[in-house]
Amino acid sequence: MPDAYYLQLTEQLRYLITQHATQWEGKLPAERVLAERFSTTRVTLRQALAQLEGEGLIHRSNRRGWFISPARLVYDPTRDAGFNDYVGAQGRQPRTAVLKLETRSHLVAARALGLPDDQPFHHIRRRRYVDDRAVLVESLWVVPERAPELLDIYSGQSLWGLLRGRWGHHLANRSIRMVSEALSPLDAEELLVAPGAAGLNICRAIFDDQQRPIEYDEEHWLHDSLCISVELSGQQ
């Protein structure tokens, strides 16, 4: 119904994608090929592709081309189930790459946890994959007193599992913040996408059952790769 050609194109592409998903094995033909097939220019074609990207139907891997996006991962940021667990539970393959391990201060984490500005933290930066697609990068800032030798033993497993199992912490109170964002050049590079790609930023400050600060973390997700789901019972 819409008159703009790029919107008609969007519909035709949407149809083609759902039909030929398997045939193309997830990757769309080259932009020049698609532009010619639809008798238009790359500029207009890209406008249509950007629409579908906004919907989360397709995404592009920087300089590699357009790909059909897999189903969104269902994620509950209020639970402390490990990434590996809930990804596996949804029949997907999780993977984690540790990008950095260090100890230093971090103003934002300190403020979020109510600690002095120069408070040092154990910092873990990791990238996480679902079915070999990088879907998020995150930075974890752990109060060293709560997990002294963390950096020596950490190798990609569930942090919350470690905190509970090894140091006996009970993660009790948490404040969570979610904001849509454009991925920073650094985050985008680590996720192999174009700078400025749409993302979702999730920040959490975690305290134990005695209100002691445990950890602060900052996640940057590709916007099309998750569906946030929260189940609550009891009156608010």
Task: Give residues in contact with DNA (CB under 7 A).
Answer: 4-7, 28, 30-33, 39-44, 46-47, 60, 62-66, 194-195
How does DSSP classify residue 234?
A: S
Residue 44 buriedness (CB in 10 A; 0-12 / 13-18 / 19+): middle
Residue-by-residue DSSP string for 122-146: EEEEEEEEETTEEEEEEEEEE-GGG
Residue 132 as a binder of a copy of itself (CB under 8 A): the answer is no
Q: Smaller CB distance to a copy of itself: residue 148 or 195?
A: 195
DSSP strands (E only) in 167-223: 171-182, 198-208, 213-222
Yes or no: say if 160 and 82 are a contact pair by the CB < 8 Å rule.
Answer: yes
Residue 195 as a binder of a copy of itself (CB under 8 A): the answer is yes
CA distance 105 to 123: 9
Binding partner of residue 166 among DNA, a copy of itself, none, CB cut-off 5 to 8 Å per kind: none
Q: Smaller CB distance to DNA: residue 134 or 150?
A: 134
Neighbours of 36 (CB within 10 A): 14
Which residue(s) pair with 134 in the sheet? 129
Q: How far is the CB of 178 from DNA (least distance, A)?
A: 26
Binding partner of residue 173 among a copy of itself, DNA, none, CB cut-off 5 to 8 Å per kind: a copy of itself
One residue of 18, 19, 41, 78 binding a copy of itself per CB under 8 A: 78
Q: How far is the CB of 216 from a copy of itself (least distance, A)?
A: 15
Binding partner of residue 198 among DNA, a copy of itself, none, CB cut-off 5 to 8 Å per kind: a copy of itself
The helix (run of H) or strand (run of E) holding residue 162 is helix 159-165
Amino acid letter at 7?
L
Q: How far is the CB of 215 from a copy of itself (least distance, A)?
A: 15
Q: Smaller CB distance to DNA: residue 32 or 166?
A: 32
Footprint on residues 33-52 left by a copy of itself (CB under 8 A) = 43, 51
Residue 213 buriedness (CB in 10 A; 0-12 / 13-18 / 19+): buried
CA distance 110 to 107: 5
Instruction: Encode 149-171: b = buried (16+ Cβ within 10 Å), e = exposed.
Output: ebeeebeeebbbebbeeeeebeb
Binding partner of residue 171 among DNA, a copy of itself, none, CB cut-off 5 to 8 Å per kind: a copy of itself
Binding partner of residue 63 among a copy of itself, DNA, none, CB cut-off 5 to 8 Å per kind: DNA
Binding partner of residue 80 among a copy of itself, DNA, none, CB cut-off 5 to 8 Å per kind: a copy of itself
- Can you give the binding site for a copy of itself, defined by CB under 8 A? 2, 7, 43, 51, 54-56, 72, 77-80, 170-182, 185, 195-196, 198, 200, 209, 223-224, 227-236
